[in-house]
Structure 1
Amino acid sequence: MEEIVQVVGERIRNFRKERGLSQEELAHQASLHNTYIGQLERGEKNATIESLYKITNALGITLEELFHNTQTGPKANSLEITQIISLLENKSKKDQHTLLQLLELLVNWKDNN
């Protein structure tokens, strides 16, 4: 259960960053406290349905979009993969391409050792 809380928090953070909002701005628009938004994004708090509804409205998305692909089974992204995605999402396409090539080189090197 803890993993889904983490995944939902990451999804909230990703949607918020995509929209160029700070935690404070999202909290204001959702009529929630900014520390609560931070706790949700870090997976420290389990959100209520009402809070999720307010957050999705403030982000301009549906609850369905928030929970799309949030599976937590064997195919779910690990926390590390989610963190890698978060690091890369604000980089330029050129930087993403370069970092992908570096990652491929590292994986190939690791597989051959």
Structure 2
Amino acid sequence: MVQKARIDQQEALDFAKAIGDKIRELRVEKGFTQEKLAELAGLHSNYTGQLERGEKRLSVYTLKRVAQGFGMSLEELFRVIDPMEREDEIGEIVNLLKERSKADQRMALKLVKTVLDWRNGTEER
């Protein structure tokens, strides 16, 4: 029982570190300093550094504030932190689009909607 508790605690620490790594990657990708992210998220810059290093456990509320600091929803942040891996056609579409710009993603969505609307129209005839 004690051994399992130690394993669970280590897994929690590893998970906190993985989340911190993703937050750092996203922060750097957006060109933010720790101080800028902290300011936008309403957190102390020291705390932001501790989150990135996996030294602090995060609450869902803290993750929400970090997401807001990045200008994204909590759902979008979760997609970055723990992306869903699918081995089907939907997964392939997601993989193709996730590295594209927002403009490209919007264009692809518009195209898919147009094709599906066209298909719906031709199936009714």
Alignment correspondent of 1:36: 47
- Aligned-pair CA distance for 1:2: 1.2
Task: With the length of structure 1 as denominator, give the TM-score of the two structures.
Answer: 0.57
Alignment correspondent of 1:54: 65
**Rg larger in structure:** 2
> How has the CA–CA distance of structure 1 residues 19 and 11 changed in structure 2, closer, same or farther, with 3 Å as cutoff?
same
Q: Residue 20 of structure 2: SS of its match in structure 1?
A: helix
Q: Residue 46 of structure 1: SS of its match in structure 2?
A: coil
Identity among equivalent positions (%) equals: 41
**What is the alpha-carbon distance in structure 2 between the residues aligned to residue 19 and residue 30 of structure 1?**
14
Contact between 1:23 and 1:34, CA under 8 Å: does it hold in 2? yes
**What is the alpha-carbon distance in structure 2 between the residues aligned to residue 67 and residue 5 of structure 1?**
13
- Aligned-pair CA distance for 1:65: 3.1
AA in 2 matched with 1:70: D
Kindly indicate whether structure 1 or structure 2 has the higher relative contact order, using CA contacts under 8 Å at least 6 residues apart: 1
Alignment correspondent of 2:76: 65
Provide Cα deviations, 1:19-42, integer angstroms capped at 9, x if missing partner.
100000000111100000000000
| RMSD of Structure 2 on Structure 1 (CA) | 1.6
**What is the alpha-carbon distance in structure 1 between the residues aligned to residue 77 and residue 53 of structure 2?**
16
Task: With the length of structure 2 as denominator, give the TM-score of the two structures.
Answer: 0.52
**What is the alpha-carbon distance in structure 1 between the residues aligned to residue 78 and residue 56 of structure 2?**
17
Contact between 1:9 and 1:42, CA under 8 Å: does it hold in 2? yes
Stretches of structure 2 lacking an aligned partner (at least 5 in a row): 1-11, 84-125
**What is the alpha-carbon distance in structure 1 between the residues aligned to residue 74 and residue 40 of structure 2?**
16
AA in 1 matched with 2:67: T
Paired positions, count: 71
- Aligned-pair CA distance for 1:14: 0.7
Stretches of structure 1 lacking an aligned partner (at least 5 in a row): 72-113
